[in-house]
């Protein structure tokens, strides 16, 4: 029996948190009928249907494997729940070659009370976008932001994931650990433009953590980003720096133009999905990437990614005739 995507979207609009599992199940399905229902679901939580942007804060948490992201999220979850905020976490794992599903089950490493109805945690696979974010994860984060106060997308590794998460999240936190080469690798990797907040874990290590924090702050200053917070935290009991990190994430949300950031992300997402679906031939038919970007700026700013994708497809059909 087909799931009613529109009804699920309405439940999200009404902040029915219990709808979250069904929402993710639908968005992850590749069946043709479910894809149609997914579009109906996303239409119900689009800016046009909501009368503005979804109220939830979408936070990207990324960094090298083993940096302590899951332990950090456990501590952050506790803090957010203390503040009365509802939280959804999408933990992105590499895909199984056999099943296509989530391989590591990263949510198992995040400590939370399974009886707490204000928390939803789901391991999601990267799908065919190895190192990046699958369509279901990106769409899921945007949909859940209609119901949850905070939606966290946690990614494993470095590379395409950072580019993708910067297009999805309102705030991106990059996590590194001291004394492991993470800091040096981060400085070399060319992703210094991505973080809105930099987090050095394991501050309980003392001087080595302080040195890492100092090096990262100096690197940001050299790029003219002296206002990007660089925080040292420890998730070990008693945790330290967690309250400051939660405050820094909230402060960033309050400082940016959410509407403009999400509009740019929707346009970038539609263009990326179109390029994946139709390749270079399709991009040429719409006049190239630059022309496609200009075309998207002339569309209704309240359209969601599927609707913008359809605009590009219609444009391609018109130019092909």
pLDDT in tens, 240-277: 899 999 999 999 999 999 999 999 999 998 998 899 89
pLDDT in tens, 161-213: 566 788 899 999 989 888 766 666 666 666 677 889 999 998 888 888 888 88
Element (H, E) at 119: strand 119-125
Helix (H, G, I), strand (E, B) or coil at 271: helix
Write out the two tokens for 50. 């909501």
Instruction: Read off the pLDDT of residues 76-101 as tens digits, 9 standing for 90 and up.
Output: 999 999 999 999 999 987 544 444 44
Q: Note the pLDDT tens digit of each residue in 28-76.
A: 998 999 999 999 999 999 999 999 999 999 999 988 888 889 899 999 9
pLDDT recorded at residue 98: 44
CATH number of the 54-255 domain:
3.40.50.300
> Across the chain, which distance is largest between two alpha carbons, in Å?
66
Task: Show the tokens assigned to 311.
Answer: 């605009």
Predicted TM-score (pTM) of this structure: 0.89
Sequence spans of domains, the chain: 1-52, 54-255, 260-320
Judged by DSSP in three states, 107 sits in: helix
8 A C-beta contact, residue 127 and residue 95: yes
């Amino acid at each position: 029996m087909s799931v009613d995507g529109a009804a699920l979207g309405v439940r999200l609009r009404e902040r029915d948190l219990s709808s979250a599992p069904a929402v993710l199940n639908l968005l992850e399905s590749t069946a043709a009928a479910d894809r149609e229902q997914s579009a109906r679901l996303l239409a119900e939580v689009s800016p046009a249907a909501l009368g503005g942007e979804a109220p939830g804060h979408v936070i990207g948490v990324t960094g090298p494997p083993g940096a302590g992201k899951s332990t950090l999220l456990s501590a952050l979850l506790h803090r957010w729940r203390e503040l009365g905020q509802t939280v959804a976490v999408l933990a992105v794992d590499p895909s199984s070659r056999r099943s296509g599903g989530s391989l590591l089950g990263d949510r198992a490493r995040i400590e939370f009370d399974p009886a707490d109805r204000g928390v939803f945690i789901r391991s999601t696979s990267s799908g065919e976008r190895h190192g990046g974010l699958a369509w279901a994860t990106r769409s899921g984060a945007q949909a859940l932001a209609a119901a949850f106060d905070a939606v966290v997308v946690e990614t494993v590794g470095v590379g395409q994931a950072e580019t993708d998460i910067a297009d999805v999240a309102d705030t991106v936190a990059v996590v590194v650990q001291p004394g492991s080469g993470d800091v040096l690798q981060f400085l070399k990797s060319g992703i210094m433009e991505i973080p809105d907040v930099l987090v050095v874990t394991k501050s309980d290590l003392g001087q080595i953590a302080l040195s890492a924090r100092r090096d990262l702050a100096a690197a940001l200053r050299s790029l003219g980003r002296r206002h990007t917070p660089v925080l040292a935290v420890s998730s070990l009991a008693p945790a330290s720096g967690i309250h400051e990190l939660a405050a820094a994430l909230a402060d960033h949300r309050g400082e940016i133009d959410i509407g403009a950031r999400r509009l740019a992300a929707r346009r970038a997402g539609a263009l990326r999905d179109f390029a994946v679906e139709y390749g270079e031939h399709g991009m040429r038919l719409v006049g190239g990437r630059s022309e496609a970007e200009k075309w998207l700026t002339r569309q209704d700013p309240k359209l969601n990614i599927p609707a913008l994708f359809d605009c590009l497809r219609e444009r391609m059909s018109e130019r092909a005739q």
